[in-house]
Amino acid sequence: MTAENVLSTALIPLLMTGALVYFAVRILVFGDISSIRRENSRKKLKDEKSYAQAAGRLMLFLACVSGLMIPLIFVNVYVALGEAVLGIAIFGVLWRRMDSRYGE
């Protein structure tokens, strides 16, 4: 398996993992939530610090889901897709819960 082969097959999950890790670190370390919330998007946050921590952790979780998809694509594409769909669905539900707890 060459690097070119890995890139041509798993470029999308690789990019997504990289982007999510970047934003997660930005949110967790610097508490910068501007990338996930607009200034005038919704009502004010109940607790900005807790929101940033929870959102950062959830983004790391999604990065893990995406990262796990990379080796799985080469083992079995069906398993990789199943893992991604399940992970993203769980992420969506957890995000909603987090948003209603710390967000609005």
Question: In the window 15-74, what residues touch another protein (CB under 8 A)?
Answer: 16, 19-20, 35-38, 40-43, 59, 62, 66, 69, 73
Q: For tokens 């897709």, name the residue.
A: 81
What H or E segment, with its residue span, contains residue 42? none
Q: Is 78 in the site for another protein (CB under 8 A)?
A: yes
CA distance 5 to 56: 31
CA distance 18 to 1: 21
- Binding-site size for another protein (CB under 8 A) equals 35
54: which residues sit within 8 A by CB, 6+ positions away? 98, 101, 102
According to CB under 8 A, which one of 52, 54, 60, 84 is a site residue for another protein?
84
Which CB sits closer to another protein, 29 or 77? 77
CA distance 64 to 20: 9
| Residues at the interface with another protein (CB under 8 A) | 8-9, 11-13, 16, 19-20, 35-38, 40-43, 59, 62, 66, 69, 73, 77-78, 80-81, 84-85, 88, 91-93, 95-96, 99, 103
